[in-house]
Structure 1
Amino acid sequence: MNEFYYTPNPHVVHELHTWNFDLLNNTLTFTTDNGVFSKRTVDFGSKTLVESVNFDKIPDGNVLDLGCGYGPMAIALAKHHSDRTFEMVDVNNLALELAVKNAEQNHVSNVKIHNSNVYENVTDKFAAIITNPPVRAGKDVVDGMISGAVDHLLPNGTLTVVLQKKQGAPSAKKLMQSLFGNCEIIKKNKGYYILESVFNG
């Protein structure tokens, strides 16, 4: 059974839920379903990441939400930063359908939403990449999401990752340090680490 949220077509009994959530001073409406990550609320890691990203230090350009799920991070940020375009990708087609719906019902048009298994269908370079990686998909997937960012960032672009300490944040920090030559913990909250590297390309 492909019921995991990090598979292309999870087999689920559909059970749509629509609910509101406050992010970045906006009340957003999200519709979710079985077969997607954190279907009942915006998870604490995503909320913490969204509130931690400092757009004042990000160069001009678009932003990639890698593994966007039903879209809470990119939609919240796109609503707040209407001058940028947010590309949203995920391997889960059900999640992407919901992301399209959620962008529409929150009147967010500065997004591009499409399927990609990690960076497979990502061709552009970005001012920032944000990700709440699917830890349950395994360390190889998480490491691939981090290491692939090197080829998809503009000079001085940032990679911002949220991980729990117990789910690999320390090893991810080492990997980011080795790839980028820098990695800062920009926030720690309830065991969640927000890690950020700058691409000095």
Structure 2
Amino acid sequence: MGDHYFTERPETASRPGTVDLVLPDLHLRLATDRGVFSPDRIDPGTRILLETVPPPPPTGNLLDLGCGYGPIACTMATRSPRATVYGVDVNVRALRLAEQNAQTAGLDNVRFIRAEEIDPELRFDALWSNPPIRIGKTALHDLLATWLDRLTPTGTAHLVVSKHLGSDSLHRWLETHGWPTRRVASRSAYRVLAVTSRGTTRPASDEDTR
């Protein structure tokens, strides 16, 4: 797959830059670099997620899975200042950038770490993710299964996936494997899926009731 954003230590030459994340409730200037996901702009899927997802729980443990340089985690931390936010990624360059961005924004309630550094007993009240679809279906399913099973009984994961990269097939896979899933938004060929813990009841989606 080459030197991609899901590489642990990218060999791509560094070329620092910045992007602006502007939402109705916040404006963050984020440091970026080559060798991380979407270094030149906020990815459209990430923006759609942040513009459509319900507010995160005000307290508890929140997770950004595949955090990159931190736009999702920093948004969660800004919107829920009394919660503890964890940003997880395999890309060391991205994690360093995310730490820098949280410090610049004055966010002291977010930690950016590798997956193995998180206590395996920790459970999450919310999970937001623009998941790394390009790692391949098997690896993606393994990744999601690991972390979705770490939701609290009342926790919800919100995932944004392009229709062209398999959002509908992922929706079916999640349902088939016991995670109640609903589509809560659809815009510009992206789907936002809300996923709840195994054994919970699947509520009707916004689109189901139209």
TM more than 0.5: yes
C-alpha separation in 1, matches of 2:160 and 2:19: 24
Secondary structure at 1:55's aligned position in 2? coil
Name the counterpart of 2:83: 84
Match of 1:19 in 2: 19
Q: Deviations over 1:49-85 (max 9, x none)?
A: 12222237x5952111111000001101211221211
- Answering whether residue 44 of structure 2 is matched by residue 44 of structure 1, we say yes
Q: 1:181 to 1:6 in 2, by over 3 A?
A: closer
> Deviation of residue 29 (structure 1)?
0.9
Q: What's the offset of the Cα at 1:19?
A: 3.3
Match of 2:173 in 1: 175
In structure 2, distance between residues paired with 1:167 and 1:59: 32
Residue among 187, 190, 193 paired with 2:191? 193
The higher-RCO structure (CA 8 Å, 6+ apart) is 1
Query: Which range moved further: 173-182 or 102-111?
Result: 173-182
Q: Distance in 1 between matches of 2:15 and 2:138?
A: 31
Contact 1:160 1:196 in 2 (8 A): yes
In the alignment, which residue of structure 2 is the partner of 1:159? 157
Does the CA-based 8 Å contact 2:45-2:130 persist in structure 1?
yes
In the superposition, the TM-score normalised over structure 2's length comes to 0.87
Q: Distance in 2 between matches of 1:27 and 1:83?
A: 19
Matches within 5 A, 1:141-152: 141-152=139-150
Deviates more, 1:69-78 or 1:133-142: 133-142
| Deviation of the 1:24 alpha carbon | 4.3
Letter in 2 for 1:194: V
Distance in 1 between the 2:59 and 2:153 partners? 10
Aligned to 1:74: 73
Q: Quick check: 2:67–2:87 contact (8 Å CA) kept in 1?
A: yes
Letter in 2 for 1:93: V
Counterpart Cα distance in 2 of 1:121 and 1:179: 27
For this pair of structures, how many residues does the alignment match?
197
2 CA distance for matches of 1:78 and 1:45?
19
Q: 1:181 to 1:25 in 2, by over 3 A?
A: closer
* CA apart distance, 1:145: 2.5
Q: CA deviation at 1:2?
A: 5.2
> Residue 32 of structure 1 aligns with which residue?
32
- Alignment partners' CA distance in 1, 2:129 and 2:141: 12
Question: Aligned-residue CA RMSD in angstroms?
Answer: 1.9
Instruction: Quote the offset at 1:18 in angstroms.
Output: 2.1
Please give the alpha-carbon distance, in whole angstroms, between the structure 2 residues aligned to 1:83 and 1:111.
Answer: 10
- TM-score by length of structure 1 reads 0.90
Are the aligned partners of 2:59 and 2:80 in contact in 1 as well (CA < 8 Å)? no
Q: Partner amino acid for 2:71?
A: P
Percent identity, aligned pairs only? Answer: 33
* Runs of 4+ with >4 A deviation: none
